[in-house]
Amino acid sequence: MSNANEIWGRRLKEARIAAGLSQKQLGIQAGLDQFVASPRINRYELGVHKADYRIAQNLAKILDVPTGYFYTEEDNLAELMLSFHRLPAKKRNDVIKLARALSPAGQ
């Protein structure tokens, strides 16, 4: 999937389903009117529209994902972002140290 809106929408849908929320529930929690909540989230998920960054931040908070998760094109990086986001601070530091150790010198 190369279209940025399609990637954004797919990631939103994956996070919403993982959180066990309907489109309407997510929209209402995000502050949308109950009558437009489901259609608006549906349009985001289909890639018809992309939420502005402020709304993306709000959706990310509700879904417990980092905002950047919606925007990364690489599936592996998105998965890594989710895992990292959910780690306690000490473990995050360990992951950063490991990543630095595994990186080629000088990069």
- Domain definitions of the chain by residue range: 4-102
Cβ-Cβ contacts under 8 Å for 53 (sequence gap 6 or more)? 67
Give the whole-angstrom CA distance, residue 58 versus residue 60: 5
pLDDT, residue 46, reads 94
Mean predicted confidence (pLDDT) in 36-55: 93
Residue 106 has a pLDDT of: 52
Per-residue pLDDT for 1 more than 50? no
pTM: 0.87
CATH number belonging to domain 4-102 = 1.10.260.40
* Residue position matching structure tokens 């992309």: 50
Burial class (CB in 10 A: 0-12, 13-18, 19+), 105: exposed
